[in-house]
């Protein structure tokens, strides 16, 4: 029987291994070649503002676009060969960030 991946497939490190994980608020960590790991106090809502139950305090959000359980990661990024750095490949000017956010 095939094993279904779950949102708990990531992260591979415990919370206490992440710098800043004990701070208040949320920490979002882009994992190299993987999802966005969200830890801490956060609310997850859809584009209309409706609550999405994360089911846990640490979740993996898909950034490869291939997950079958979006917005959560189901591990498909590994089979898809998704590649992305953890850190930004280059800094973006603040004006560009405001344009993306629609401000």
Instruction: Give contact residues for ligand FES (rule: CB under 6 A).
Output: 34-35, 62-64, 66-67, 73-77
95 phi-psi bin (left φ>0, alpha ψ -120 to 50, beta other): alpha
Of the pair 59, 62, the CB lying nearest ligand FES is at 62
> Please, what is the minimum distance in Å from the beta carbon of residue 95 to ligand FES?
28
Q: What angle do CA 45, 24, 41 make, to 5 degrees?
A: 25
CB 36 within 8 A of CB 54: no
Of the pair 11, 75, the CB lying nearest ligand FES is at 75
Rounded to whole angstroms, how far apart are CA atoms 103 and 101? 6
> Please, what is the minimum distance in Å from the beta carbon of residue 81 to ligand FES?
11
Of the pair 27, 67, the CB lying nearest ligand FES is at 67
Radius of gyration of the chain, Cα coordinates, nearest whole angstrom: 15
> Please, what is the minimum distance in Å from the beta carbon of residue 87 to ligand FES?
17
């Amino acid at each position: 029987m095939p094993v279904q991946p779950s949102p708990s497939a990531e992260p591979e490190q415990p919370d206490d291994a992440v710098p800043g994980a004990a701070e208040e608020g949320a920490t979002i960590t882009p994992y190299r070649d993987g999802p966005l790991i969200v830890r801490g106090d956060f609310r997850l809502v859809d584009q209309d503002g409706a609550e999405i139950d994360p089911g846990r305090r640490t979740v993996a959000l898909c950034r490869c676009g291939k997950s079958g359980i979006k917005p959560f990661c189901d591990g498909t990024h590994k089979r898809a060969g998704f590649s992305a750095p953890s850190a930004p490949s280059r800094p973006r000017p603040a004006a560009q960030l405001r344009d993306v956010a629609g401000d």
